[in-house]
Amino acid sequence: MRYFFNFETVKNTASKLLLKKYKINHVNNLEGFMEKKIISVVTGGNGFVGSHLVDLLLSKGHEVRCLIRKSSDTRWLENKDLKIYRCGLFDKKALSEVLIDADYLYHVAGVVKSKTKEGYFEGNVATTRSLLEVLAEVNRNIKRVLIVSSQTAGGPSLEGKVINEDSESRPITTYGKSKLEQENTAKSFSNILPITIVRAPAVYGERDTEIYLVFKTYQKGIMTLVGFHKKRVSLIHVADLVRGFLLAAESDVSVNQTYYISSKEFYDWEKVSMLIGKAIGKKAINIKIPHLIVYFVAAIAQLFALFSNKAATFNLEKAKDFVQEAWTCDISKAEGELKFQPEISLEEGLKRTIDWYRSMKWL
């Protein structure tokens, strides 16, 4: 049998095989690239604000890992494509495994009520230090660490002056002081980790259980107003707040910066009462409570909490917050650098929130 060797045929066949192999490898590499998700770790993802952030990250296609305590209620995380780690924030070995390949860390978890000063500082400062120490050891290449702080770290607006990021911080409660110390702790890592701090004002929205009590009381026909002078506040719907978190975390200019993420408008409680009434469909009686009575009620609530395992939701420190003339903040920096704009008006946000409470049979 005779074989005819044709160099051109062999060359063409080899080229086709190489091209086919290249295409297969190229497709496999492309599929691998497409399958790689951004990894976002969220502390406190089971809570009111944290769970809304989790929802937003999932909608953006992120792989979400939630760091929570063993005893945490996970009802807002059920049936969602995420990973839950019940290791708390002090188990450094477990934290290492979660953080080692993370792209973003959103530190939302914190203690908002405690019977002791130590409880606030352990829950807000020590946890932050623990997280960042681990991160500094295992993942200094993380794209961003977002620390969720509070307007209380800056303190109230004194003498009618709206506060901004350049204002002197004057916290008036143990909680506020612990949040300011949390910020300072985070800043101490800013030479090795990309830190961004966001200060949030009073937040309302679906799943909230704190401001919810205002709606519950209103439903019964009463709206309590603190003091006899108008008090102004900054408010934000939770969906706008977590959108601000994302903008702050992903911005190239926000490293080592602090931002207030809030409403542009300031609201007095009479207007809030009017808009709640519009959303609920009924009017309530506005009852003005003297500051002295506010402190008295807070003292009684705090006294009863001594005989309970839980800290009082309303205590003397909360009363101190409530009697301030204004809690207002300027968001110009976030508008300019992050292009942040609140999208949900107070009227729309209150209606959304109340409709949700009703659907859940909370109202």
Residues 99-117: tens digit of each pLDDT = 999 999 999 999 999 989 9
- The percentage of residues in the chain with a pLDDT greater than 70, rounded to a whole number, is 90
Residue 20 has pLDDT above 90, yes or no: no
Mean pLDDT confidence for 268-274:
94
Amino acid identity of 354?
I
Which domains, and CATH codes, for the chain?
Answer: 35-359 (3.40.50.720)
Query: Which pLDDT tens digit goes with each residue over 152-174?
Result: 999 999 988 999 999 999 999 99
Q: Would you state the structure tokens that stand for residue 287, as one six-digit string?
A: 């009852």
What whole-number distance in Å separates Cα of residue 161 and Cα of residue 157?
5
- The percentage of residues in the chain with a pLDDT greater than 90, rounded to a whole number, is 80
Q: Would you state the structure tokens that stand for residue 156, as one six-digit string?
A: 């109230």
Amino acid identity of 148?
V
Burial of 195 (0-12, 13-18, 19+ CB in 10 A): buried
Burial of 277 (0-12, 13-18, 19+ CB in 10 A): middle
Mean pLDDT confidence for 21-43:
64
Residue 31 has pLDDT above 80, yes or no: no
Residues 6+ positions from 326 with CB-CB distance below 8 Å: 156, 157, 160, 162, 231, 232, 233, 266
DSSP assignment of 79-122: TSS-EEE--TTT-HHHHHHHHTT-SEEEE----S--SSHHHHHI
Q: Which residue has the higher pLDDT, 334 or 36?
A: 334
- C-alpha dist (Å) from residue 179 to 11, 105, 171, 245: 71, 18, 9, 17
Amino acid identity of 324?
Q
Please choose, from the candidates 90, 95, 36, the residue with its C-alpha nearest in 3D space to the C-alpha of residue 65.
Answer: 95
Mean pLDDT confidence for 232-238:
97
pTM for this prediction = 0.89
What whole-number distance in Å separates Cα of residue 180 and Cα of residue 151?
10
